[in-house]
Amino acid sequence: MEHSRRSFTGVSSNLEADLTSLCWSAKDLHTLHWNRVIMEISSAHTLEALNNPQWFPGLSNTIERTRQALNCFQNCYVEVVNITTNRVAEKIAVSVTKDGRFQSYIARGGPSWLNDTNFEDASNSPSTYPR
């Protein structure tokens, strides 16, 4: 796992936050020279905005930036998954919003407080996606 945490302000909706986060993630993965990615998101509304930007005129700039970031890859898939599938991402988000862990970090292998979750997820995973 490679992760970089950012925080942002001035976002007017959950959809805008989801699109902005997806854009940042795509840009960061591109910076790491990943060429084939599968991005898992838990918001069907976000995928709907990417596929039908004309339905969301107030977010046209954010949607366009996100689409451009996703189009930088040789292969890129965005899949909607159940929130429980992304337990690690959810715990990281909770660590910022409820636990007050505001210090940024870059971790390989993840922070130690996620070791149990990482191990459980790896043990229960039906498949593995190569990088």
Identity of the highest mean pLDDT range in 42-46, 82-86, 118-122: 42-46
Distance CA 82, CA 43 (A): 9
Query: Is 129 part of a structural domain of the chain?
Result: no
Q: Are 79 and 41 in contact (CB under 8 A)?
A: yes
Query: Is 29 part of a structural domain of the chain?
Result: yes
Query: Is 131 part of a structural domain of the chain?
Result: no
In this prediction, residues 108-112 reach a mean pLDDT of 64
Which pairs with CB-CB distance under 8 Å and at least 24 residues apart come from 117-126? 117/87, 117/88, 117/91, 118/1, 118/88, 121/87, 121/88
Per-residue model confidence as pLDDT tens digits over 55-99? 999 999 999 999 999 999 999 999 998 877 777 777 777 776 676
Residue 131's pLDDT band (cuts 50, 70, 90): very low
Distance CA 59, CA 53 (A): 8
Domain that includes residue 53, residue range: 2-124
Q: How many domains is the chain built from? A: 1
Q: For the chain, what is the mean pLDDT?
A: 80
DSSP strands (E only) in the chain: 2-4, 36-41, 75-80, 106-108
Query: Is 130 part of a structural domain of the chain?
Result: no
Which DSSP category does 84 fall into?
Answer: G
Query: Is 11 part of a structural domain of the chain?
Result: yes
Residue 1's pLDDT band (cuts 50, 70, 90): very low
Which DSSP category does 3 fall into?
Answer: E
- 11 three-class SS: coil
In this predicted structure, the answer to whether residue 100 has a pLDDT above a threshold of 70 is no
pLDDT given at position 85? 75
Residue 130's pLDDT band (cuts 50, 70, 90): very low
pLDDT given at position 129? 37
Query: Is 113 part of a structural domain of the chain?
Result: yes
From the list 40, 55, 34, 20, the residue with the least C-alpha distance to 86 is: 40
Residue 106 is part of a domain; what is its CATH number?
Answer: 3.30.420
Query: Is 85 part of a structural domain of the chain?
Result: yes
